[in-house]
Amino acid sequence: MKNVSQQYVKTLLAAWSRNPEGLAPSTIPLPDGVDAAEVCELLLAHHLQVLADPYLPEQAKTLDFREGLASSRERTGFLLMELERILPAVTWADCRPVVLKGGALAQGHYARPDQRWFLDLDILVPRGQVDEVCRRLETLGYRHFSGNRDPLYYARHHLHRIMLGPQGSTVEVHWDLTLPSSFYDFDVPGVFNRAREIHLGRQTMQAASPVDQVLHGVYQQIADGFVDLKRVCDLVVLLKGLTEEEKLYLVKEAGRTNMGTALWLSLHMVKQIAGLQVPWPEVEELAPGWWTTRTLRGLDVEEGLFQRRAATVDGYSSLLHLLMLHRPSERLWDSGRFVWPDEARLMDLGYQAKKMPGLGRRLRLSAFFFKTFLGLGGRATRALLRG
């Protein structure tokens, strides 16, 4: 993807950031040398077509872009109607689900819900109510989904169950927001306490608070390898609504949960990509040391985000994860787990709990991961020198 196309997309996002309500938007002409097809391809790859549509000249919109525009609006509308359908069934005295991520963001923070594309519905429920919630979803036509993984993987090493709906919807039933083996943390009881009631059709729903949405989005960026421009846009709408007290809490909580570096980097991306200044002196307290800062600069995380590098480069997301960790002991431990995969990693790769690979197979897997790890070391070294 040419850099001029990325610069133009940044111009579009900055225009939206200044006017997220979309009041009388003005189209932004394509500068000379900008390929309209590349711009549309980039917007579609990040599912930003609806958000950018008012600012993109009509003659620049490709057929794929127009089709993606219609399908995105249709999907968001369908998922929100499905959320309205299922919530009464999974809500009772001991269980008031908190809606997370796309559904909560679209309905509660964007000027128009259709501006925020999302793939599935995410709800957080108490751990002890997960079985009953899934049973009630089954009465609505949903079924359990584990893919090629052993179902025990989700019970032992994950944070949600996946339920597939009768019309193509997916519901992720969360009981936690970070993986059990993760060095990151999340105040899950606090998420229930801080949840806010917002309108959804003819009813209301409990949605995660803005500060929890910010931190959850930051964790998702770590997990995915900073691959999603949507999360940058999420921060734009969330940050504008934070009170001074919430900003201070966010910085403090990011440090406590080991997500300080990731929040610092995420806010830097907001400034670089959407042009939104974050003039909080407290944020600089989260800045990593010179080695990490220089390496991140050399990796050009912004370019990697636009190119969705983590989706195509083996180990890139793992490298960013290691850079987000503060303590050398944490980096050393997770480096070891990368090279010598534990049960959680093996089950994530598709191995069954009762059929773990033997020593020979594990040694071959470890050799492959060690080779990948050496490649990551080389990439990090080159980035450090460039930075």
CA 253 – CA 259 distance, rounded (Å): 8
Domain boundaries, the chain: 3-287, 304-386
Q: What is the mean pLDDT of residues 42-67?
A: 96
What is the reported pTM?
A: 0.94
Give me the pLDDT at residue 264, please: 96
Residue 328 token pair: 């050398």
Query: What's the pLDDT score for residue 279?
Result: 75
Neighbours of 361 (CB within 10 A): 12
Q: How far apart are alpha carbons 13 and 116 in whole angstroms?
A: 13
* Cα distance between the two ends of the chain: 22
pLDDT, averaged across the chain: 94
Asked if pLDDT for residue 2 goes beyond 60, the answer is no
- Burial call 226-264: b when 16+ CB within 10 Å, e when fewer: bbbbbbbbbbbbbbeebeeebbeebbebbbebbbbbbbb
- Over the stretch 113-126, which tens digit does the pLDDT of each residue have? 999 999 999 999 99
What are the pLDDT digits (tens) for 344-375?
999 999 999 999 999 999 999 999 999 999 99
Contacts of 2 (CB under 8 A, 6+ apart): 35, 38
Q: For the residues 63-68, what does the mean pLDDT come to? A: 97
- pLDDT number for residue 50: 95
Fold annotation for 3-287: Beta Polymerase; domain 2 (3.30.460)
The sheet carrying 98-100 orders its strands as 143-145, 160-164, 170-174, 121-124, 98-100, 203-207, 196-200
Q: How much is the pLDDT for 282?
A: 83
Alpha-carbon torsion 34, 39, 40, 41, what sign?
Answer: positive
